[in-house]
Amino acid sequence: MSSLLFTARFATTVARLEQLPAPQVPEVVFVGRSNAGKSSAINRLCQRRRLAFASKTPGRTQALNFFALGPEALAPTGFLVDAPGYGYAATPAAVRAGWDRLAGRYLEARTCLAGVVVVMDCRRGVTALDRQLLEFLPAGRAVLVLLTKSDKLGNAERSRTLSNVRKALDDVICHDDLTLTSFSANTGLGVEPVRVLIEQWIVEANRARTAGAS
Ligand SMILES: Nc1nc2c(ncn2[C@@H]2O[C@H](COP(=O)(O)OP(=O)(O)OP(=O)(O)O)[C@@H](O)[C@H]2O)c(=O)[nH]1
Ligand SMILES: [Mg+2]
């Protein structure tokens, strides 16, 4: 099957908010703990090996990396955004403050955000910082929680984890539009429905945008 995501190519790196491109087309951002698997998820979804830079060293991605979507000859119809991870234990306070200033403010204020993908390592579940992040997201945002690295669990453990996380999310967070799914960048588990959902977010946001403009 073809997907809009297969057209992804690197567009720009944003280290400070002032460098953000004008908010024109829909964006879908990937956030989550450092080392959770955000960059690997983007690569798998886009069927590219090294589009986003994945690494064993936590805290590798320190800026917002934008990947353009749509036919290459035309202006992009959307962007995927790889955000820096939070919660890396050895991160000095200054870097943490930098995360708030960049990724935090981006999440809070970006008007063209069509959806937020929250990536969690399935073996860790919902951490305190994940919870803070979900509570911080404005109500009404479309949210997709990926329980990634699910290849590390057996079938029974995977479904137990899924229902535990669902409960944990129900208890603390009230997002009307929240999808939760098991995922693996390594085996491709759960990848296709996630591609479809993200593409749908972008297509619908573009439809709303053009309807609003006419
Ligand atoms: N087994 C397994 N390993 C994975 C999976 N996804 C990512 N990893 C590994 O987890 C480590 C971190 O992956 P990244 O994609 O770099 O994580 P990240 O969230 O982008 O990390 P930061 O940019 O540092 O915040 C790498 O060693 C990956 O190979 C997965 O689905 N299964
Ligand atoms: Mg990364």
- Beta carbon of 91 within 6 Å of any ligand 1 atom: no
Residue nearest to atom 4 of ligand 1 (CA): 149
Residue nearest to atom 10 of ligand 1 (CA): 37
Question: From ligand 2's centre to the CA of 208, what distance in Å?
Answer: 30
Q: What is the model's pLDDT at position 8? A: 97
Mark out the alpha helices in 47-85 (DSSP H runs).
Answer: none
- Beta carbon of 38 within 6 Å of any ligand 1 atom: yes
With tokens 């098991």, the residue in question is 182
Q: Would you list the DSSP string of 111-169?
A: TTEEEEEEEEETTT-S-HHHHHHHHHSPTT--EEEEEE-GGGS-HHHHHHHHHHHHHHH
Ligand 1, residues 29, 40, 61, 64: which to mutate, most atoms within 8 A of Cβ?
40
**What is the dotted CATH code of the domain comprising 4-213?**
3.40.50.300
Looking at residue 64, the DSSP 8-state letter turns out to be E
- Beta carbon of 186 within 6 Å of any ligand 1 atom: yes
Walk along the chain (214 residues) and give the pLDDT tens digit of each residue. 799 999 999 999 998 999 999 999 999 999 999 899 999 999 999 999 889 887 776 666 678 999 999 999 999 999 999 999 888 766 677 777 788 889 999 999 999 999 999 999 999 999 988 998 998 888 889 999 999 999 999 999 999 999 999 999 987 777 778 999 999 999 999 999 999 999 999 999 999 988 877 6
Residue nearest to atom 3 of ligand 1 (CA): 149
Residue nearest to atom 2 of ligand 1 (CA): 149
- Residue 71 burial (CB count, 10 A): 10
- Beta carbon of 43 within 6 Å of any ligand 1 atom: no
Domain boundaries of the chain, sorted by first residue: 4-213
> Which ligand sits closest to the CA of 56?
1
The minimum-distance atom of ligand 1 relative to the CA of 61 is 23
- Return the closest-CA partner of residue 214 out of 206, 31, 203, 38: 206
Q: What is the model's pLDDT at position 170? A: 86
